[in-house]
Amino acid sequence: MATGTRYAGKVVIVTGGGRGIGAGIVRAFVESGAQVVICDKDESTGRTLEQELPGSVFVLCDVTQEDDVKTAFSSDPLSETIRRFGRLDCVVNNAGSHPPLQWPEETSIQGFRQLLELNLLGMYTLTKLALPHLRKSRGNVINISSLVGAIGQSQAVPYVATKGAVTAMTKALALDESQYGVRVNCISPGNIWTPLWEELAASTPDPKAKIREGTLAQPLGRMGQPAEVGAAAVFLASEASFCTGIELLVTGGAELGFGCKAAQCSVPAGASVIP
């Protein structure tokens, strides 16, 4: 695999980096010349990617467990990031989940709370602990949000709420950290073909129909690929030096134009937009 120089000499942490969008981001940064720490609670996928990609290091980490996150940044010998590389330039907060589609009355408060812990509070915890290192390097944070945080999605109130909060948090943090030269941006994907998308489609009565629905939601006529989100992340980290607080849509145009959104439509509006 050829290694580029767009982010050579830099150190990046990617949460949820073992598969899907996270793995696409890890690959893109490794190909740009960066050293990448893969944080994931799934050791098998993380170790497999580590072996595949020279320049990457796997750290077992569940972002909802503060002690796990602290391990990645403490100055003791267990630290895989600072101990190995001595610096940190970019944090990509990608770890998250999209529960199966549910009407509001089918959701639980406990489920909502757990989703908040993963999709929002986990991002905040990691970012807060990383900031002292990012300030030293004048680095940057990239949060992975979702298109539906801006446009909504049927049968996904908790998920949409967490992703809308991620985008809002990005803007607020960008203001606070600008005095230190730390940029904070987010990427909002639309339909990206990942194992999660495939699993969610498989849980529906007609998976093929669900995949076709997701494919046709974009004017470009296809779903995106994890590598395309990875390319966007490398751009924000390496070249978008005058961008902070922005939401970069990687959606194939799914948000464009009018559509049938009334209750009489056979398909709930936005039901297919599942990054």
Find all residues with CB under 8 Å of 155, minimum gap 6, and list them. Answer: 101, 102, 103, 268, 271
Give dist(CA 216, CA 233) in Å, integer: 25
Given the residues 7, 124, 159, 180, select the one marked as catalytic.
159
**159 part of the active site:** yes
How many other C-beta atoms are found inside a 10 Å radius of the C-beta of residue 3? Answer: 12
Q: What is the DSSP letter of 106?
A: G
DSSP string of 134-202?
A: HHHHT-EEEEE--THHHH--TT-HHHHHHHHHHHHHHHHHHHHHGGGT-EEEEEEE-SB--HHHHHHHH
Catalytic residues: 159
